Amino acid sequence: MTGRYRDFFSDTTDILSASTCIELFKELDQHAKDAGFAAVSYAAMRPPLQGQPGAILFDSSSPTSFIETYKQEDFITCDPVVARAVRSPLPFSWMDCPEFTGFDKPRRGRRPRALTVLDHASDFGYQEGHVVPCSTIVDGLTVPGFVTFFWPEGRIIRPVLESPLWFRYLVQLFHEKYISLSGISFRTVATVPLTDREKQCLVWLAMGKNASDLATLMNISERTAEHYCQSVVTKLNAANRVQAVAKAILLGVIYV
**CA–CA separation, 32 vs 29, rounded Å?**
5
pLDDT score recorded for residue 162: 52
| Residue ranges, CATH 1.10.10.10, the chain | 196-250
| Residue ranges, CATH 3.30.450.80, the chain | 4-182
pTM confidence score: 0.69
Q: Encode the chain (256 residues) as per-residue pLDDT tens digits.
A: 344 444 555 567 888 889 999 999 999 998 888 888 899 999 998 765 545 556 678 899 999 999 999 988 888 888 999 989 988 888 999 989 999 888 877 777 788 888 999 999 999 989 889 999 999 988 777 788 999 999 887 666 555 555 567 778 889 999 999 999 988 776 655 567 788 899 999 999 999 999 999 999 999 999 999 999 999 999 888 889 988 888 777 666 776 6
DSSP, collapsed to helix, strand or coil, labels residue 87 as: helix
Q: Which helix (H) or strand (E) holds 137?
A: strand 129-138
**CA–CA separation, 178 vs 184, rounded Å?**
10
Q: Check the CA dihedral 231-234-236-242 and report its sign.
A: positive
Q: Are the C-beta atoms of 76 and 53 separated by less than 8 Å?
A: yes
DSSP, collapsed to helix, strand or coil, labels residue 130 as: strand
Say if domain 196-250 classifies as CATH 3.40.50.2300.
Answer: no
DSSP, collapsed to helix, strand or coil, labels residue 149 as: strand
Task: Give strand pairing partners of 147.
Answer: 42, 132
Strands (E), 139-244: 141-150
Distances from the Cα of 107 to the Cα of 102, 115, 118, angstroms: 10, 9, 12
pLDDT score recorded for residue 171: 92
Closest CA to 130 of 158, 109, 102: 158
CATH class of 4-182: alpha beta
Q: What angle do CA 102, 106, 110 make, to 5 degrees?
A: 80
